[in-house]
Every structure is written in C-alpha cells, then in structure tokens.
Structure 1
Amino acid sequence: MRFLAVVITGLAVIAPAAHAFVLPNKIRLPKAEYFTVQQIYNGWWIIGLLLPIAFLANGANAIWLRNDRVSLILSVAAAALILANLAIFALFTQPANAVTQNWTVQPENWEALRIQWEYSHAANAVITFLAFCCAALACVR
C-alpha cells in the first residue's frame, strides 16, 4: 500500500509540474500562438484520473499506517492536498476550459482566462508535490 501511495502520487505530480515548467514561456505568447499551443493538452484528462486514485491510495495508506500517528497524519495530509488540487481544478481550471471549449474558442477575456488557467496549474503543481512529499515521508518512517 505504501509503495502504491507514493508511486501514484508521484505520477500525479507529472502533469501539473509540466504545466508549471512551461508557464514562463507560455504566459507571454500572443493569442494565436497560445491557442495553438494549448492543443497539445488534448487527451490529458486521462492523466487527471490519477488524482482521485492518489486520493484513494493515500486514504488507504492512512488506514494501513494508522498505528503510527505521524505517518497517519502525513497520509491524511497527502490525501487532503490531493483534494485541494481537485478543488482548485474545479473552481479555476475547468471553468476556463469550459468558456474556451478546451481552448478552441477565443473569448474576449481570453487573457484573464489564460492567467486563471496557468496559475491554477502552477498552484496545483506545488500542492501535488507537497502531497507527494507527505506520502513519501509517511512511508519512509
């Protein structure tokens, strides 16, 4: 169970980290180029399925490690951080995806939506990395 919690949470870090690493280059792109580049994310929703799986794995890990109070707290923290990621996605990322129809429609407020989309992913990169750290620490104790 420990191994699964760490590996799945580690895999869940990849997509948000990729978004965060390209943010400095993408945030300044002109409109046409930005909308073109956004198409590389078609199909990435599949990677997003790792998040609920990571939540479940860390929840199960918390139960598995319940006799070690610190590991239990770290596992619960990892699960809570994954939930925070999902909340940020639901509140900030997905609404931008919906308005732009997954970046195929160019609304007037596209720049504000770009900032919302990019920085919600950057925040989720940090949050998911922290979840990974908590999961790893829970398992190495």
Structure 2
Amino acid sequence: MQVLHVIALLLVAITMAMALAHALEYPGKLRLSKESYLATQTIYYPGFTFGGICEVGGIVALVALLFLTPLGTLRFWLIAVALALMLSVQAIFWLVTQPVNKFWIKDLDLHAAGGRFFSLGGTKEVRDWKELRDIWEYSHMARSVLAMLSLIAVTVALASNP
C-alpha cells in the first residue's frame, strides 16, 4: 500500500506542477499581444496532453487508496479530501479550460491522441481574445490551488498513522 501511496503522491504532484506552471506564466503572458499570445498557446498541447494523463492516474490511485484505507480514520478522510480536490481539478478542466482549449487549437492540425483528446468536451463561443485568455488563465490558477491542496492532503495522509 505504501507504493500506491507514493504513486498517488507523485501523480498529484505532477498535476499540481503542470497547473502551477500555467499559473506562474500569467504575469508574463499579460504583456503579450494577441498574435504572440495565440502563438504561445499552441505550444502547450503536445506535452501537456501526455502530462494530463497523470490527473486521471492520480484520481485512480486515490480511489484505490481510499478503498484500501480503513473507513473513518484520519488517513481515510485526508485521502477522501485529496480525491474530492482532484475531482474538482478535473471538473474545472472539462467545464472551463477545455472549451477554451478547443477555441485556441481550432486551426491546428493535431495528430493521433492529441487530436482525439481535444475533440472532446464543449466549445466556447467566440468572444474577445482577452476574455478567453482570462478564463483560461484563471482556470489554471484555480486548478493549481486545488491540486496543491490535494497534494498537501495526500502528503499529510502519508505521514499520518495508518
């Protein structure tokens, strides 16, 4: 079970790191023109698509940990909190971030897995690019905070008595 706990910890940490990376770019990206911002957005999708698998893996690992942890213990509740937070990270992605992603990449020729992945979910109506930028950037800030709280919860669970 300790191996599973470390795997969950690692997957949640990767999720947090990716969202935090986006959040930390925000001040610099505010200085970009529309053309530069739109060009910059398209560089993320190949690598972050594969990294996004860690989000799902983290949820699966946390569900497995929750199933294997005695009900009602501090560790159980910390893992449950970590899981709820990771589910919230996913909800924000699918309800807020992904529709904007689809707008940013509408003119890109994505191949294989990336093309299939970015065809999923709803699409944002065309609005002012700055409004879409802010929705996308703030969604990653929210995701980074929730993922960080999940990382804290799963770390404390690992450190607590079984």
Q: TM-score, structure 1 length as denominator?
A: 0.90
- Relative distance call for 1:122 and 1:96 in structure 2 (3 A) is same
CA distance in 2, matches of 1:62, 1:108: 42
Could you report, residue by residue, the CA deviation over 1:3-45 in whole angstroms, capped at 9, with x for unpaired residues? Answer: 1111111122111010011111112321011112112203111
How far does residue 102 in structure 1 lie from its aligned partner after superposition? 5.5
Higher helix share: 1
The letter for the 2-side match of 1:23 is: Y
Task: Give the direction of change, closer, same or farther, for the CA distance of 1:99–1:37 in structure 2 (3 Å limit).
Answer: closer
Q: Distance in 2 between matches of 1:90 and 1:33?
A: 25
Q: TM-score, normalised by structure 2?
A: 0.79
Residue equivalent to 1:113: 132
Shift of 1:108: 5.0
Name the aligned partner's letter for residue 18 of structure 1: A
| SS of structure 1 residue aligned to 2:43 | helix
Identity of aligned residues (%): 29
The aligned runs of 1:31-42 (5 Å cut-off) are 31-42=34-45
Write the letter of the residue equivalent to 2:136. Answer: W
Match of 2:68 among 64, 71, 74: 64
Q: Distance in 2 between matches of 1:42 and 1:6?
A: 24
User: 1:125 Cα deviation (Å)?
Assistant: 0.5
Q: Secondary structure at the match of 1:40?
A: coil
Which ranges of 4 or more aligned residues in structure 1 deviate by more than 6 Å?
none
How far apart, CA to CA, are the structure 2 residues paired with 1:67 and 1:124?
28
Residue 112 of structure 2 is matched in structure 1 by none
Establish whether residue 30 from structure 1 lines up as the match of residue 33 from structure 2. Answer: yes
* Distance in 1 between residues matched to 2:104 and 2:71, nearest whole Å: 48
Unaligned runs of 5+ in 2: 109-125
Q: Report the Cα distance in structure 1 between the residues aligned to 2:17 and 2:134, rounded to whole angstroms.
A: 20
Distance 2:29 2:35 in 1: 12
Match of 2:154 among 128, 135, 140: 135
Q: Count how many residue pairs are aligned between Structure 1 and Structure 2.
A: 139
Question: 5+ unaligned residues in a row in structure 1: which ranges?
Answer: none
| Rounded Cα–Cα distance in structure 2 between residues aligned with 1:61 and 1:103 | 41
Tell me the amino acid that sits aligned with residue 74 of structure 1: L
CA contact (8 A) 2:38 2:104 kept: no
My pick for the range that moved more, 4-13 or 85-94, is 4-13
Instruction: Confirm or deny: 8 A CA contact 2:42 2:104 kept in the other structure.
Output: no
Q: CA RMSD in A?
A: 1.7
